[in-house]
Amino acid sequence: MTTFESIAPQLESLAIEVPSWAYGNSGTRFKVFGTPGTPRTVAEKIADAAQVHRYTGAAPTVALHIPWDVSDDYAALRRYAEGLGVGLGTVNSNTFQDDAYKFGSLTAADPAARRQAIDHHLRCIEIMDATGSRDLKIWLADGSNYPGQNDLRQRQDTLAESLAEIYAQLGDEQRLVLEYKFFEPAFYATDVPDWGTSYAHVAALGDRATVCLDTGHHAPGTNIEFIVMQLLRLGKLGAFDFNSRFYADDDLIVGAADPFQLFRILFEVVRGGGLDPEAGVAFMLDQCHNVEDKIPGQIRSVLNVQEMATRALLVDRDALAAAQAANDVLGANAVLMDAFYTDVRPSLASWRESRGLPADPMAAFAASGYLQQIAADRVGGTQAGWGA
């Protein structure tokens, strides 16, 4: 029988990276909602992110999005973050908010658009050098809306050439992480629509290129945990973008739509050794908080991942293996369900207190008065949001 005490050391290594853009204003296609205290600068975003780590102890890095998080001095920004107790993590590129990319970026037939997109990624690598970031994450909005609009083969060939040029400029300790999404904004053919396409490109690039799996980027009914298993098996799962969706890419709080799916995903992570630091899997949130407060939304998200990871670690692997070997269908299922239904919150609360953290991070943050303070202090200026 697996006990909480036996898995606690593995929880120590679970670090969940938070995205800078989660602290800016966001909304739907129809309206972006403002909130008092929303950050106006990248420094204020990092200050808010540091609160998540302060209360959870599990969110030690902040991902940047370029040019949303542009800075005159990234080395100074790194020192500022470290002074708040966090580091700067993944650098996310952006080739979907410039007119030049209307018909594609890294896959574009237009050499000028493609050159602009490649140069943007080379600039991102320079930023990584200054921030100490390991991963360059690429998500492309590239694709087409109509049959015959583009040469599908040409776009894949061009993408391979573009990625190869970017990959060649990475430092020895840096990685390229290629994300996929099965549709939107391209509605006929998306250039990187699935894990297989992403895998094909990163496998061709080399050992320091991996796949990013966004949990909201799949068709309804997709067995995401199977993809997790396969990428871990192939040694090519580089990162997660955790979120939830009910219809499409909703970017809601992870675990909100289907907690059992999150459990199943994290069980395959545990089974495949993905929690081991040497596996190199980055666990990141990619969420927007449209109607809920942003910092508590991120704290809740970190706790959701932590709680489901704990349940996944509690699976009695020996009992499961024995039931599987005996073709005991219901017995094997029961082993998983017993772990899933275990209430790990009291154990996690005690574990946090033993590490000098609040037993209830949500309640502790609410009582801190931080939201009220930033609402009073951050008056004037332009609040951060999509594109800033």
- Helix 42-56 and helix 294-313: axis angle, to 10°? 40
pLDDT tens digit sequence for 65-83? 999 999 999 999 999 999 9
Q: Tokens at residue 35, please?
A: 């909130």
Closest Cα to residue 1, out of 311, 273, 317?
317
pLDDT tens digit sequence for 244-259? 999 888 899 999 999 9
Residues 116, 38 within the same domain: yes
Does residue 376 sit within a domain? no
User: Taking a C-beta distance cutoff of 8 angstroms, is the pair 362, 299 a contact?
Assistant: yes
Q: How far does Cα 334 stand from its chain's mean position?
A: 31
pLDDT band at 388 (very low <50, low <70, confident <90, very high): low
Residues 35, 123 within the same domain: yes
pLDDT tens digit sequence for 171-194? 999 999 999 999 989 999 999 999
Number of domains in the chain: 2
Does residue 259 sit within a domain? yes
Does residue 378 sit within a domain? no
Residues 152, 57 within the same domain: yes
Does residue 372 sit within a domain? no
| Residue where the block lists tokens 């204020």 | 44
CA distance linking residue 382 with residue 388, whole number of Å? 9
Residues 321, 296 within the same domain: no
- Amino acid, single-letter form, for residue 98: D
Please tell me whether residue 90 adopts helix, strand or coil conformation: strand
Residues 85, 99 within the same domain: yes
User: Residue 94 sits in a domain of what CATH number?
Assistant: 3.20.20.150
Taking residue 383's Cβ as centre, other Cβ atoms within 10 Å add up to: 18
Does residue 5 sit within a domain? no
Residues 149, 284 within the same domain: yes
- Amino acid, single-letter form, for residue 113: A
Please tell me what DSSP assigns to residue 101.
G
Q: What percent of the chain has pLDDT over 90?
A: 92
CA distance linking residue 302 with residue 60, whole number of Å? 11
Q: Considering the entire predicted model, what is its pTM?
A: 0.96
What is the domain extent for residue 109? 11-313
| Residue where the block lists tokens 């037939």 | 109
Residues 46, 96 within the same domain: yes
User: Taking a C-beta distance cutoff of 8 angstroms, is the pair 44, 24 a contact?
Assistant: no
Q: Is the pLDDT of residue 100 over 60?
A: yes
